[in-house]
Structure 1
Amino acid sequence: MERRFFLTGVVLENLIMKRDSKSYVDSLHAILIHAGLFQGSKYVLAGYTGMAFKLSVHRRLLPMSVTAYGQWGESHRPGMDNLGIFTIWDGGRTRHPTFGYYQQDAVNWVKRSLDGGIGVIYWIPEFGVIHGYDDSDRIFYVQDGWSKEPQILLYDNFGLNFTGFWYCQVFGEQVHIPKQQMLLEALRLAIEDWDVPYRLLPDQNIASGRLAYDVWVQALRSGDYDESGAAYILESYCQSRTDIQMYLQDARGIWTELDQAYACYEQLGALIIQMKGCMIQENNRWILQADATEKLAQALLEAKTLEGQAVDYFRLISLKYPDRKRSTVPRWGAHSAR
């Protein structure tokens, strides 16, 4: 944990966030590597946390789909539990009358984390990293993963952005969890994400897992979709499925069914090459080719079948071992005490 203290603040040196994957994974990897809490590649982190398996698609293919995979705190917690890392988060809507109190409290605990040498995940949007502060100017230094220069965030503007949501997450100590146990839990997280159709109920405009494929294809075939969002979702999808393929490739040899699941993602990798060919670059941004929507829709339906087969192999592995997290009834049962 390299940090540079000065009279009115601290900057964590050599903490560098780079956009390659989902912005949450990019942020988390930068922080954990810098803090010595994780040593693996980014795709390994995406696999163990289950983040690589998350897929959410808005019915109009809006770009916000990529981060609309559920209530963030609850969506991120199982992955952190699987790494054995203590974490605390807070967030909500900035319109709430209590926001100012939570904002000031968050400013204080973010500074404490930085004093301790650990960076902080922050919703910019998308997710980024707070890696320093200066009390004299009342500012945080924030990395978005795109620019080499940090953004400046005033304490008074903490949490304020055009989305109306704020989110912040800090990390602490770690306990050891055997790799095979982490791998098994990651497969179970993948199964859960595949099976749950809507993560943001009662809103049903954003579909998850297997249903996300159907919503995606329907939007492409209707022609009623956001062009920039369509390309952004596809870019994110191609990267996350490549991450899964590399993650499972490293894990081969543990279970026969896992090798079979890897073979499914290997075939999906060939489809990804086709999907990337459906995009062209225009004015420094990627867009879908106008005549490639049906080709992409067909490839997505094939990908859905392959991923469904892979998840079925995950189920076979899961059934071999007790799942205490999901089968043990809490002391008060499945509902709160009355």
Structure 2
Amino acid sequence: MSASILSSVQFRAESLSFTDALYGVLVAKGWFSLPKPMLAGMTGACFRFSVHRQLHADSATAYNWMAEHLVACDLIGVIASQWGGYNFTPTFPLYQRQAVRDIKSSIDRGTAAVLWKDRFVIVNGYHEAKQLFYYLDGRSAAVQELSFGELGLNQTPYCYYQVYEHLLETDVLQVIKESYMQAVFRAETPDIMLPGTDYACGLSAYDAILNALQSGNYDAAGAYETISVYAAAKRDAAQYTRYAAGYWPASQEVAGHYAELAVLYEKILDTAEMNSTPGALSEPCSSFIDLFHAARAAETAAIRSIRTLLHEPIANRFHDVGLR
């Protein structure tokens, strides 16, 4: 049997997150036609902010994938199915075989799938006779191979995939307003999946970052990775809120705060690159720490502006802003 490959799928790691992979799948399918920052914002992805208290490299991927990725699709009207778990559990072989079937079926329907392979990748084809998948990692243009039997067997014990089934019509303005409420929720609410002794979420993440930098108790490589990923997220947030203001002029003030935030993170990243060995953060100077204080003020102002703009719908959700 010859290979079945969806050659129209493109994947570029720009947001450095799940959004990159989701965008590649949806654009190739014709289910999303707006710029990538719009997807990062409409799904709420660019507003998520969680860090390990020693700034380990897993900071950017330490969140509830099952909940957030399904909500992300739901927000933009995409019906999706997924599975996540650990490859050391006794039932893993059963789920692995089901994952192979689901991903092959999705490709047969003309839709690629997202898979965790120590980062989020796009599975865009398979070869039945050779018993393998073809995938893109967003860093190389070359299609890579993964045998069916190796699916889910990563360097990390986590395994996850998501497939996409149908698209429902949505109203962009309503999605934007909902995404802003999700921004408030993520800024103010800890992720219940993350132990507070090890992780900090939302605006509280700034306290954890500052404590780690000032005490020197941080992982140098992890800190650099964390800063790089969140600089990309804040850039996406700035571009998204600027685009969103075109649909919703009343949100212009919010866009201004996120524009300021993105500039600050660009300075943070530039400073980290200038004063560090490649891929590792050196001892931070006082001006570097000052930039994080300024970033916290800018992001806090952005959330306050959203709360003012959406005071009534947020109040109607009482204690659970994230409830839709």
**2:24 counterpart residue number:** 30
- The 3 A distance-change label for structure 1 pair 212 and 257 is farther
- Count of aligned positions: 321
**1:169 counterpart residue number:** 162
Aligned-residue offset at 1:296: 2.3
Q: Which moved more, 1:226-235 or 1:114-123?
A: 226-235
Aligned-residue offset at 1:305: 1.5
- The 3 A distance-change label for structure 1 pair 283 and 92 is same
Which residue of 49, 60, 79 maps to 2:54?
Answer: 60
Q: Is the 8 A contact 2:50 2:202 kept in 1?
A: yes
Secondary structure, counterpart of 2:169 in structure 1? coil
Aligned counterparts of 1:284 and 1:142: Cα–Cα separation in 2: 32
Q: Is the 8 A contact 1:86 1:174 kept in 2?
A: yes
Q: Is the 8 A contact 2:50 2:59 kept in 1?
A: yes
Q: Which moved more, 1:28-37 or 1:218-227?
A: 218-227
Gaps in structure 2 of 5+ consecutive residues:
none
Which residue of 81, 85, 92 maps to 2:85?
Answer: 92
**1:47 counterpart residue number:** 41
Secondary structure, counterpart of 1:279 in structure 2? helix
Aligned-residue offset at 1:154: 1.0
- The 3 A distance-change label for structure 1 pair 179 and 256 is closer
- The 3 A distance-change label for structure 1 pair 282 and 294 is closer
Aligned counterparts of 1:110 and 1:285: Cα–Cα separation in 2: 37
Aligned counterparts of 1:254 and 1:301: Cα–Cα separation in 2: 31
**2:204 counterpart residue number:** 211
Q: CA RMSD in A?
A: 2.4
Residue 297, structure 1, aligned to residue 289, structure 2: yes
Paired amino acid for 2:49: L
**1:128 counterpart residue number:** 121
* TM-score, structure 2 normalization: 0.92
Q: Is the 8 A contact 1:255 1:317 kept in 2?
A: no
Aligned-residue offset at 1:208: 1.1
Q: Which moved more, 1:202-211 or 1:121-130?
A: 202-211
Q: Which moved more, 1:71-80 or 1:280-289?
A: 280-289
Q: Is the 8 A contact 2:134 2:143 kept in 1?
A: yes
Which residue of 134, 137, 153 maps to 1:144?
Answer: 137
Identity of aligned residues (%): 29
- The 3 A distance-change label for structure 1 pair 257 and 120 is same
Aligned counterparts of 2:195 and 2:231: Cα–Cα separation in 1: 29
Gaps in structure 1 of 5+ consecutive residues:
1-6
Aligned counterparts of 1:134 and 1:176: Cα–Cα separation in 2: 34
Residue 312, structure 1, aligned to residue 314, structure 2: no
Aligned-residue offset at 1:152: 1.5
Q: Which moved more, 1:191-200 or 1:73-82?
A: 191-200
Paired amino acid for 1:263: G
- The 3 A distance-change label for structure 1 pair 42 and 97 is same
Structure 1 residues 189-225: Cα deviation after superposition (integer angstroms, max 9, x where no partner): 1111101134424463121101111111111111121
Paired amino acid for 1:27: A
Aligned counterparts of 2:314 and 2:226: Cα–Cα separation in 1: 36
Q: Which moved more, 1:208-217 or 1:193-202?
A: 193-202
Residue 241, structure 1, aligned to residue 228, structure 2: no
- The 3 A distance-change label for structure 1 pair 282 and 142 is farther
**1:11 counterpart residue number:** 5
Aligned-residue offset at 1:283: 11
Q: Is the 8 A contact 1:130 1:141 kept in 2?
A: yes
Residue 270, structure 1, aligned to residue 263, structure 2: yes
Aligned-residue offset at 1:238: 1.2
**2:14 counterpart residue number:** 20
Aligned counterparts of 1:84 and 1:198: Cα–Cα separation in 2: 24
Aligned counterparts of 1:253 and 1:16: Cα–Cα separation in 2: 27
- The 3 A distance-change label for structure 1 pair 308 and 322 is closer
Aligned counterparts of 1:254 and 1:137: Cα–Cα separation in 2: 49
Paired amino acid for 1:307: E
Structure 1 residues 269-305: Cα deviation after superposition (integer angstroms, max 9, x where no partner): 3322321231237999433343x34322221121111
Q: Which moved more, 1:237-246 or 1:271-280?
A: 271-280
Secondary structure, counterpart of 2:260 in structure 1? helix
Structure 1 residues 165-186: Cα deviation after superposition (integer angstroms, max 9, x where no partner): 1000001111111111100110
Aligned counterparts of 2:286 and 2:110: Cα–Cα separation in 1: 50
